[in-house]
Structure 1
């Protein structure tokens, strides 16, 4: 049996491992999103159509004119809520779409949010993580929530509630939110 130098064997092993990684990589990594959970690709595909605010309204999301911002943490923007999705943990059915002013008289989609009423149940989970809360915020009442910043990068993390890059500068009113 011929003797192979150790560096060659190591290089072949590394090449084989790399090729297996490329074959088994999640779709989100292959598309370059780099999200921390592959199901966020499903969320993106289900909500990308709502980059048009009118598409969200036409599909039953209710527009709000209160912009959520915290002077220390950043903002969430405007919440558009689809009542029949409240309580869902399905990656394709977020209860809320979050928008910010585009400074041209319109709004652009920046994130999505799941909202689950707190009825004393265990903390809801999605994307292998527990929801934030519980919070008691009118008009929602006691609830858990989970944000996903998939349309605007959040330097604090994809699932962090507030984004320091979001402000309500153009908003007529601001509302604190837990």
Structure 2
């Protein structure tokens, strides 16, 4: 065996290890998340890529938290990424376990006085049952070591802490609006739903 062959055999495992490490996907930084998502500042781009909204602007008070904590905002959702059924019955339940913020499952906007929307955050949402029972994860999803907050309705309270959804983990990243509560907080006091215009109810047609 030549010296070169011996040298190759010694360093080959190390080279393989280095390649394996380099091929492991890394979580994006907040700066990278912001840069990638900037194109959604125009909500029409989001709509063209399949994001949809139920036009509900969520506040902390709506979920039973102090109003001073602020607002979640108006969400535009990729239903396919969340694995949502076309016509949900009862609580919203999905199969999504998506956690890559390079392609966020949800975009968060703040309604403006002139009727336009301003992008303030991105979000990923993971259904607890799909994450633990289907995907087999024992620990909650995390982003850079931070555990996603769990939203689960408490039947003993008057409000719906999960806003009509099955228990789920959701993580906001406030990369487009400064948040005194922190960039990872669910709510932002610097965001308001004051100018949101709910969809008008469908007209009731009388039978003939």
**Distance of aligned partners of 1:108 and 1:142 in 2 relative to their CA distance in 1, 3 Å threshold:** same
Q: Match for 2:53 among 57, 63, 67?
A: 63
Count of residue correspondences: 137
Q: Match for 2:185 among 157, 160, 164?
A: 160
Q: State the shift of 1:93 in Å.
A: 1.8
RMSD, aligned CA? 1.8
**Distance of aligned partners of 1:125 and 1:98 in 2 relative to their CA distance in 1, 3 Å threshold:** same
Name 1:123's counterpart in structure 2: 140
Q: Deviations over 1:42-80 (max 9, x none)?
A: 211221100001000001101231110122311011000
CA distance in 1, matches of 2:98, 2:39: 19
Contact kept in structure 2, 1:133 and 1:144, CA below 8 Å: yes
For 1:1-178, list aligned pairs within 5 A.
Answer: 39-70=29-60, 71-86=67-82, 87-119=97-129, 120=132, 121=137, 122-136=139-153, 137-172=162-197
TM value normalised by structure 1: 0.70
Q: State the shift of 1:101 in Å.
A: 1.1
Q: Deviations over 1:119-140 (max 9, x none)?
A: 2342111122110014342543
**Distance of aligned partners of 1:142 and 1:88 in 2 relative to their CA distance in 1, 3 Å threshold:** same
Bigger radius of gyration among the two: 2
Q: State the shift of 1:170 in Å.
A: 1.2
CA distance in 2, matches of 1:139, 1:76: 15
Q: Deviations over 1:144-166 (max 9, x none)?
A: 01110000110111000000111
Stretches of 4+ aligned residues off by more than 6 angstroms: none
CA distance in 2, matches of 1:40, 1:63: 24
Greater strand proportion: 1
